[in-house]
């Protein structure tokens, strides 16, 4: 998050050229340069202010405890963000935690001594894996370019019979919905159920479960260090994925132009259009469209984002309480799973704009 419009407009940019392997289904930005990124304390990735998201996270925690026995263990989370999920899992399952993330502040709360927080990257603290009975890696693998080496590093250090849980965005949904706003520089690696399952088995893991969840937005994989097993039927996705890639490549330019036309029509009609979420999706949406005054601002329920600006486009970020001063006519819902939550939030403030989910 940046604090001025000038800083936002001058923010560094990078190009994307997605390469698709028709043999394994893996997709990656071949132009990705990790040194261009700065995952530091100021990075605001948390979704913990959303009741929809926190409710789903609690259900996932219960599954880890009840189905996989993650209780009274040492749990290591690689890329723990601000640590909400790890803290909740430790409290619910009476676990001890180790959280590693370059965005962790040194003064991060200790949660009554249950958790040790480490500000840094996993590669510098791989030895801590040996202490864990469960290893979590949620929404981190898509930020890693050498994914084979990364999973191999975990495999070499993870204790026998320890559980590995991975959670990544589902690329099939992005391709199916022509969701160009879900492709952005920070995400250099893109997975499907098939490619994630093949990666795990190639690195010496037995996949216990591999499914889509959260409105089919995420792929969840549970595995143990063991002899690789046969692929699940839903992992045999190469033929369909080949078709989706070709269709997306052909349709994405038209989808971008269609959204430009819609925004221009609303603007010409004098309607105030806003985005709900000051997120990477919003940044990708606005920079792909190269629009400015057609969108007034972005709204976000995370209070730490309020008063900042979206990198690239320079759009200001406001909180829901600011909407009465400049009521929107059209709200673009960047993630449709939050549509009803947003509708309720607006209704509490006496606002009834047109809600347009991007999905």
pLDDT 10s digits, 278-293:
999 999 999 999 999 9
Looking at residue 49, its pLDDT comes to 78
Residue 42 — pLDDT band, cuts 50, 70, 90? low
Residue 359 pLDDT level (bands cut at 50, 70, 90): confident
| Rounded (10°) CA dihedral 24, 25, 31, 35 | -80
Q: What mean pLDDT comes out for the span 33-42?
A: 74
User: CA of 338: how far to CAs of 285, 291, 359, in Å?
Assistant: 17, 24, 11
Work out the average pLDDT over 19-47.
82
- pLDDT digit string (tens) for 301-343? 999 899 999 999 999 999 999 999 999 999 999 999 999 999 9
CA–CA gap between residue 206 and residue 345 (Å, rounded) = 43
The predicted-structure confidence for 81-90, as pLDDT tens digits, reads as follows 889 999 999 9
Neighbouring C-beta atoms of residue 284, cutoff 10 Å? 22
Other CB atoms closer than 10 Å to residue 167's CB: what's the count? 21
What tens digit of pLDDT does each residue of 177-224 get? Answer: 999 999 999 999 999 999 999 999 999 999 999 999 999 999 999 999
Gap between the Cα atoms of 65 and 117, Å rounded: 22
Q: Given this model, what pLDDT does residue 114 score?
A: 87
- Inform me whether the pLDDT recorded for 52 exceeds 90: no
Q: Which residues of 294-323 are buried (b: 16+ CB within 10 A; e: fewer)?
A: bbbbbbbbbeebbebbbbbbbbbbbebeeb
pLDDT at 43: 56
Residue 18 to residue 189: CA distance in whole angstroms:
9
Dump pLDDT digits (tens) for 245-303. Answer: 999 999 999 999 999 999 999 999 999 999 999 999 999 999 999 999 999 999 999 99
71 within 8 A of 55, measured Cβ to Cβ = no
Q: Say what the pLDDT of residue 135 is.
A: 98
Is 171:191 a contact under the CB 8 Å cutoff?
yes
Q: Find all residues with CB under 8 Å of 256, minimum gap 6, and list them.
A: 180, 288, 289
What sign does the dihedral 179-355-313-53 (CA atoms) show?
Answer: negative
- Which pLDDT belongs to residue 286? 97
At 38 the pLDDT is: 73
Report the alpha-carbon distance of residue 62 to residue 73 in Å, rounded: 15
Average pLDDT over residues 19-43: 86
> How far apart are alpha carbons 95 and 115 in whole angstroms?
9
Task: Give the mean pLDDT of the chain.
Answer: 93
Cα angle, residue 88 at apex, residues 83 and 92 outer, rounded to 5°:
155
Given a cut of 70, whether residue 45 has pLDDT beyond it is: no
Tell me: the pLDDT tens digits for 145-171? 999 999 999 999 999 999 999 999 999
Nearest residue to 310 via CA among 170, 171, 189, 181? 181
pLDDT tier for residue 228 given thresholds of 50, 70 and 90: confident
Q: Would the pLDDT of 10 be above 70? A: yes
Which sign does the torsion angle of CA 123, 127, 131, 133 carry? Answer: positive
The Cα 270–Cα 112 span in angstroms is 53
| pLDDT(105) > 80 | no
Place of tokens 């202010």: 49
Interatomic CA distance for residues 240 and 315, integer angstroms: 38
In sequence order, what are the beta bridge partners of 52? none
């Amino acid at each position: 998050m940046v604090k001025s419009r000038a800083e936002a407009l001058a923010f560094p940019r990078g190009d994307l050229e997605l390469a698709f392997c028709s043999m394994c289904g893996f997709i990656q930005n071949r132009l990705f340069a990790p040194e261009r990124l700065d995952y530091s304390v100021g990075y605001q990735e948390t979704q913990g202010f959303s009741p929809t998201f926190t409710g789903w996270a609690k259900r996932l925690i219960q599954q880890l405890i009840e189905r996989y026995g993650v209780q009274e263990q040492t749990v290591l989370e690689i890329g723990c963000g601000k640590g909400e999920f790890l803290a909740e899992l430790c409290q619910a399952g009476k676990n001890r935690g180790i959280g590693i993330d370059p965005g962790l502040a040194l003064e991060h709360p200790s949660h009554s001594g249950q958790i040790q927080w480490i500000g840094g990257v996993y590669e510098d603290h791989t030895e801590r894996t040996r202490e864990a009975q469960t290893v979590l890696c949620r929404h981190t693998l898509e930020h890693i370019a050498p994914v084979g080496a990364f999973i191999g590093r975990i495999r070499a250090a993870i204790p026998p019979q320890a559980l590995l849980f991975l959670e990544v965005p589902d690329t099939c949904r992005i391709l199916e919905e022509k969701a160009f706003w879900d492709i952005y520089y920070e995400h250099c690696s893109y997975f499907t159920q098939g490619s994630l399952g093949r990666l795990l088995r190639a690195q010496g893991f037995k996949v216990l479960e591999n499914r889509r969840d959260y409105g089919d937005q995420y792929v969840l994989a549970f595995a143990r260090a063991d002899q690789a097993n046969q692929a699940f039927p839903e992992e045999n996705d190469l033929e369909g994925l080949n078709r989706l890639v070709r269709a997306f490549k052909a349709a994405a330019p038209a989808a971008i132009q269609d959204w430009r036309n819609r925004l221009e029509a609303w603007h010409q009609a004098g309607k105030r259009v806003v985005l709900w979420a000051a997120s990477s999706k919003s940044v990708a949406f606005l920079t792909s469209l190269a629009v400015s005054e057609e969108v007034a601002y972005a709204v976000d329920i995370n209070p730490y984002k309020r008063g900042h600006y979206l990198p690239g486009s320079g759009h200001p970020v406001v909180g829901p309480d600011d909407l009465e001063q400049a009521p929107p006519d059209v709200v673009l819902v960047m993630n449709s799973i939050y549509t009803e939550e947003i509708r309720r939030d607006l209704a509490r403030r006496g606002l009834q704009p047109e809600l347009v989910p991007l999905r």
